[in-house]
Amino acid sequence: MKRRILISLLTQFLLPPSAVSQDLPRPPSAEIQTAPLGRWKTVNDATGKVESVVVIWQEDGMLYGKIAKLIDPDPRDSDRCVQCAGDLKDRPLVGLRILWNLSKNGSQWSGGQILDPANGKVYRCSISLEDGGKRLKVRGFIGFSWLGRTEYWLRDE
SS (H, E, C) the chain: CHHHHHHHHHHHHHCCHHHCCCCCCCCCCHHHHHCCCEEEEEECCCCCCEEEEEEEEEECCEEEEEEEEECCCCCCCCCECCCCCHHHCCCECCCCEEEEEEEEECCEEEEEEEEECCCCEEEEEEEEEEHHHCEEEEEEECCCCCCEEEEEEEECC
pLDDT at 46: 86
CA–CA gap between residue 107 and residue 127 (Å, rounded): 9
Number of structural domains the chain divides into: 1
Residue 16 lies in a domain: no
Residue 4 lies in a domain: no
Residue 114 lies in a domain: yes
Residue 24 lies in a domain: no
Cβ neighbours of residue 94 closer than 8 Å, sequence gap 6 or more = 67, 68, 69, 70, 79
CATH of the domain at 89: 2.40.128.520
CB 144 within 8 A of CB 126: no
Residue 141 lies in a domain: yes
Residue 148 lies in a domain: yes
Mean pLDDT of the residues in the chain: 82
Domain that holds residue 95: 29-155
% of the chain beyond a pLDDT of 90: 66
Tell whether the model's pLDDT for residue 91 goes beyond 90: yes
What tens digit of pLDDT does each residue of 8-52 get?
333 333 333 333 333 433 334 444 456 899 999 999 888 999 999
Tell whether the model's pLDDT for residue 6 goes beyond 70: no
Residue 11 lies in a domain: no
pLDDT at 24: 33
Residue 127 lies in a domain: yes
- Tell me the average pLDDT across 108-130: 96
